[in-house]
């Protein structure tokens, strides 16, 4: 689609990027069929092709209203449409730009402004951890709607302290260590069992995705620069071989630092190097499958599990089938799951901002995941794990927690 940029966007990095992405779209509509919000709402403007057209209008300076903002808000940024698109349209980058533009042009109602601000500040603040712990202590007394956002506490167990010649950085993150600290602990024990040391830099933190996807690109970049500064001494000294990110939503963000900071002369080169080092745990562990098989033996054999591949893993990072292959090689029986390409409705802060759509997608996903009665549901992203767990009695875990338990290295 040819787009003539409005003067305010012409010759800006965002304008030129948007123009380039829009040029690739041939308006064929293949993407519409696999869009979860289009499937539910059936409105062209709630599918990728319609949203792309709305962003084209924004780019050209056409007058837009709250209605356009609402259609962009309803998008999950699941990027399923990118996987479907035969023309390589980078929809995720385009919608981020469109959201920034409309945020600057359309004032939100006060209530929305307040909740978005509270999410941006609250989820990444230092008091989120203590507040979550308090919520977990009184979880049984909380009203249902709040209880759904507070996962039951699981003790993390012992953190390994052995030094190894293989060394990686583990992202400190923000909500994950507060909500389910057991995930990081399990990750570190699995790595340790494979003689890989993991270090967490206390001065690092949120990957920036929370602010970035709430149309606060500058806030997201502040987080990115802080993490790069924290990790850089280890990187230039050659002390680490990878930055392991065990929440796929954060992984996709860090892999994008190179793109997001490409126009910052002070950080562009470093950001590219950091992005190249970022790895989902499966990218490190898949090649160690034989060793893991030896270590696990019969511990996981025949266990019926359902795997939910987060959108940020399959559509964002384009990692498909790798965790499933590893689990199968280790003896688990993976039950079939219909429509595994579709989003579960978690999508970062989406479940708070769009509860009706998010709830509908959760029900559909849980019905597909539980259809063949698995003993456990496994996934690879904190958001999906807590969101799904709030709707089912079947235990929902990170696949590294499953592996940690089967390796038998977990200690109370
Ligand atoms: S984004 Fe891709 S699949 Fe969708 S309408 Fe454009 S070219 Fe077609
Ligand atoms: S990112 Fe997901 S919800 Fe948004 S338009 Fe694409 S497929 Fe639809």
pLDDT in tens, 35-86: 999 999 999 999 999 999 999 999 999 999 999 999 999 999 999 999 999 9
Which residues have CB under 8 Å from 342's CB, separation 6+?
Answer: 34, 36, 39, 78, 80, 361, 364, 365
362-387: pLDDT as tens digits: 999 999 999 999 999 999 999 999 99
Nearest CA to ligand 1 atom 3: 85
pLDDT band at 297 (very low <50, low <70, confident <90, very high): confident
313: tokens are: 């893993």
Q: Residue 404's CB: how many other CB atoms inside 10 A?
A: 23
Residue 30 in contact with ligand 1 by CB distance below 6 A: yes
Q: Is 167 helix (H, G, I), strand (E, B) or coil?
A: strand
Cα distance between residue 139 and residue 152, in whole Å: 7
Residue 84 CA to ligand 1 centre (angstroms)? 8
Residue 46 CA to ligand 1 centre (angstroms)? 14
Which residues have CB under 8 Å from 174's CB, separation 6+?
Answer: 123, 124, 128, 205, 206, 210
Taking all residues of the chain, what is their mean pLDDT, rounded to a whole number? Answer: 95
Q: Residue 148's CB: how many other CB atoms inside 10 A?
A: 18
Q: What does the DSSP 8-state code read for residue 206?
A: -
pLDDT band at 220 (very low <50, low <70, confident <90, very high): very high
Residue 333 CA to ligand 1 centre (angstroms)? 36
Three-class SS string for 54-66?
Answer: HHHHHHCCCCCCH
> What pLDDT score was predicted for residue 270?
98
What global pTM score does this model have?
Answer: 0.94
> What pLDDT score was predicted for residue 1?
87
Q: Mark out the alpha helices in 88-158 (DSSP H runs).
A: 91-105, 110-122, 128-137, 144-147
Cβ-contact 260, 221 below 8 angstroms? yes
Q: Furthest-apart CA pair in the chain: how many Å?
A: 65
Across 122-143, average pLDDT = 90
Dihedral sign, Cα of residue 140, residue 141, residue 143, residue 146: negative
Residue 25 in contact with ligand 1 by CB distance below 6 A: yes
Dihedral sign, Cα of residue 209, residue 211, residue 212, residue 217: negative
Residue 350 has pLDDT above 70, yes or no: yes
Residue 394 in contact with ligand 1 by CB distance below 6 A: no
Residue 10 CA to ligand 1 centre (angstroms)? 24
Across 295-300, average pLDDT = 84
Residue 15 has pLDDT above 70, yes or no: yes
> What pLDDT score was predicted for residue 301?
84
Please name each of the domains of the chain with its CATH number.
13-105 (1.10.1060.10), 129-283 (no CATH), 289-407 (3.40.50.1860)
Q: Mark out the alpha helices in 151-213 (DSSP H runs).
A: 175-179, 181-193, 209-213
> What does the buried/exposed string (b/e) look like for 308-342 if buried means 16 or more CB atoms within 10 Å of the residue's CB?
bbbbbbbbbbebeebbbebbeebbbebbebeebbb
Cα distance between residue 226 and residue 320, in whole Å: 30
175-198: pLDDT as tens digits: 999 999 999 999 999 999 999 999
Residue 91 CA to ligand 1 centre (angstroms)? 9
Across 155-183, average pLDDT = 96
Cα distance between residue 290 and residue 180, in whole Å: 29
Q: What is the CA radius of gyration of the chain?
A: 21
Cα distance between residue 326 and residue 390, in whole Å: 27
> What pLDDT score was predicted for residue 241?
98
20: tokens are: 């380039």
30: tokens are: 């293949």
Q: For a substitution probing ligand 1, which of 27, 35, 75, 94 has the most ligand atoms within 8 Å of its CB?
A: 27
Q: How many helices (H) and strands (E) does the chain have?
A: 24, 8
Across 3-24, average pLDDT = 96
pLDDT band at 411 (very low <50, low <70, confident <90, very high): very low
Cβ-contact 380, 313 below 8 angstroms? yes
Residue 85 in contact with ligand 1 by CB distance below 6 A: yes
Cα distance between residue 309 and residue 381, in whole Å: 9
Cα distance between residue 256 and residue 318, in whole Å: 13
Residue at token pair 């305010």:
8
Q: Is 379 helix (H, G, I), strand (E, B) or coil?
A: strand
> What pLDDT score was predicted for residue 409?
56
CA distances from 356 to 211, 353, 402 (A): 22, 9, 31
Residues with CB under 6 Å of ligand 2 are 35-37, 48, 51, 75-81, 91
Q: Residue 356's CB: how many other CB atoms inside 10 A?
A: 9
């Amino acid at each position: 689609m040819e787009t003539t940029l409005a003067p305010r966007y012409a010759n800006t990095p965002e304008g030129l990027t948007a123009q380039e992405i829009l040029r690739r779209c041939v308006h064929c509509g293949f993407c519409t069929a696999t869009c979860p919000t289009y499937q539910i709402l059936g409105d062209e403007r709630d599918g990728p092709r319609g949203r792309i057209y709305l962003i084209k209008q924004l780019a050209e300076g056409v007058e837009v209203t709250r209605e356009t903002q609402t259609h962009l808000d309803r998008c999950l940024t699941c990027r399923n449409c990118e996987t479907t698109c035969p023309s390589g349209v980078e929809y995720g980058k385009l919608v981020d730009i469109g959201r920034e533009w409309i945020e600057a042009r359309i004032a939100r109602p006060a209530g929305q402004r307040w909740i978005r601000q509270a999410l941006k500040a609250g989820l990444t603040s230092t008091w989120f951890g203590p507040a979550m712990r308090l919520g977990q202590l009184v979880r049984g007394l909380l009203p249902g709607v709040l209880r759904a956002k507070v996962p039951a506490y699981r003790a993390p167990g012992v953190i390994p302290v052995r030094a190894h010649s293989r060394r990686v950085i583990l992202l400190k993150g923000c909500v994950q260590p507060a909500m389910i600290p057991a995930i990081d602990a399990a990750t570190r024990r699995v790595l340790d069992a494979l003689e890989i040391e993991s270090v967490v830099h206390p001065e690092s933190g949120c990957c920036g995705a929370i602010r970035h996807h709430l149309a606060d690109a500058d806030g997201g970049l502040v987080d990115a620069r802080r993490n790069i500064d924290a990790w850089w001494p280890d990187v230039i000294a050659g002390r680490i071989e990878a930055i392991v990110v065990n929440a796929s939503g954060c992984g996709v963000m860090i892999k994008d630092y190179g793109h997001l900071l490409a126009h910052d002369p002070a950080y562009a080169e470093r950001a590219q190097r950091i992005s190249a080092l970022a790895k989902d745990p499966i990218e490190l562990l898949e090649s160690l499958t034989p060793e893991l098989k030896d270590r696990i033996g019969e511990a996981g054999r025949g266990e019926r599990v359902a795997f939910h591949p987060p959108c940020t893993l399959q559509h964002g990072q384009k990692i498909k089938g790798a965790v499933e292959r590893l689990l199968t090689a280790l003896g688990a029986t993976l039950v079939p799951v219909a429509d595994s390409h579709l989003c579960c409705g978690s999508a970062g802060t989406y479940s708070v901002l769009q509860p009706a759509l998010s709830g509908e997608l959760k029900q559909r996903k849980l019905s597909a995941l539980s259809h063949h009665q698995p003993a456990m549901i496994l996934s690879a992203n904190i958001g999906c794990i807590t969101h799904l767990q709030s709707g089912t009695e079947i235990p929902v875990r990170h696949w590294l927690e499953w592996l940690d338990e089967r390796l038998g290295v977990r200690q109370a």
